[in-house]
Amino acid sequence: MVGYLKEKGSRYSIILALLSLYFVWGSTYLAIRIALEGFPPFLMAGLRYVVAGGCLYLFLRITGVPVPTVKEWKGASAVGAFLLFGGNGGVVFAEQWVASGVAALVIAATPLWTVLFAGIWRRWPSPSEWVGIALGLAGVAVLNMGGELKTYPVGAIALIFAAMFWAFGSAWSRHLPLPQGMMASAVEMLAGGVLLLLASMVTGERVGSQPGFKAVGALVYLIIFGSLVGFSSYVYLLRRVRPSLATSYAYVNPLIAVLLGVVFAGEKIAFFEIIAVPVILGGVVIVILGNKGRPGP
């Protein structure tokens, strides 16, 4: 993995950021499912990012970090719209019907879409990356042939588009003027969170009853670990390594998400899911390995 790292930035900081994504984000799929027991999807996700982004923004301003320029606000808001409103919004919407482990498996295809979208900026996949893309997307097709994704096609469509939105936002972020350091995370979370809250208002979401302790605890976990730690680590990586490495969490998260879903939520693994896991993850690994040594987009 070290061979992928660029000279810019601390190697150890990059490794720690990757590890936080691998393990923390793997647990957020289950946390989302638990939070949905007390909150509607868009309201829950909007609160998550507005609170996390607002706290981080205030902290940075108090510590002397300058206010982003208008161009930086626009750039970060665009990234937040794709990553959080389109990407995470699709995940929380789908998890109303789809198990957390299955959702993580579909999102595992994110690096494949990221490599494809990089072609917009004249960085087309190498032959080995095309093989990985074909294999991974074939795994997604297998996953959609049975189980919950076949039963709930709306959830399947939402997850596929969520992965595409997240991938495009990740690739585009390399070419936009963004605030420096953690301020980029704060603005992106604020922008994405506001859009999610607007979606909640437009769709008429309401909290049916007072959320239980588990749902509130899951939301707090998502705010602190999923957003302040996880998303900030992801934004940090996007500025320092290639998008394909930054999105490599996608082949670790599903394994953790499936395990946690089975152990703590009683989720079951269907036949098509067992087949799809090695196919999707194999495609992602081929893409990551095929990306080694190539210049960034």
Name the helix (H) or strand (E) containing 174: none
CB-CB contact of 139 with 276 (8 Å): yes
Per-residue pLDDT averaged across 115-135, rounded?
79
Average pLDDT, the chain: 85
User: How many CB atoms lie under 10 A from the CB of residue 268?
Assistant: 11
CB-CB contact of 56 with 68 (8 Å): no
Q: Which amino acid is at 116?
A: L
CB-CB contact of 84 with 49 (8 Å): yes
Q: What is the largest CA-CA distance in the chain?
A: 54
Q: What is the pTM of this model?
A: 0.84
CB-CB contact of 95 with 75 (8 Å): no
Q: Which amino acid is at 143?
A: L
For residue 33, pLDDT over 90 is answered with: yes
Q: Where are the alpha helices (DSSP H) in the chain?
A: 11-35, 41-62, 70-80, 89-94, 100-107, 110-117, 127-143, 147-151, 153-172, 182-202, 213-221, 232-238, 243-246, 253-265, 271-290
Domain ranges in the chain are 10-290
| Residue 244: pLDDT band with limits 50, 70, 90 | low
3-state secondary structure 39-105: CCHHHHHHHHHHHHHHHHHHHHHHCCCCCCCHHHHHHHHHHHHHHHHHHHHHHHHHCCCCCHHHHHH
Per-residue pLDDT averaged across 253-282, rounded?
80
pLDDT of residue 291: 58
pLDDT of residue 141: 77
For residue 147, pLDDT over 90 is answered with: no
Q: What is the pLDDT of residues 192-225, one digit of tens each?
A: 999 999 999 999 998 878 899 999 999 999 999 9
Per-residue pLDDT averaged across 23-35, rounded?
93
- Crossing angle (nearest 10°) for helices 110-117 and 271-290: 40
Cβ neighbours for 257, distance < 8 A, ≥ 6 positions apart: 26, 27, 29, 30, 100, 101, 103, 104, 105
Q: What is the pLDDT of residues 59-110, one digit of tens each?
A: 999 999 999 999 999 999 999 999 999 999 999 999 999 888 888 888 888 8
pLDDT of residue 295: 42
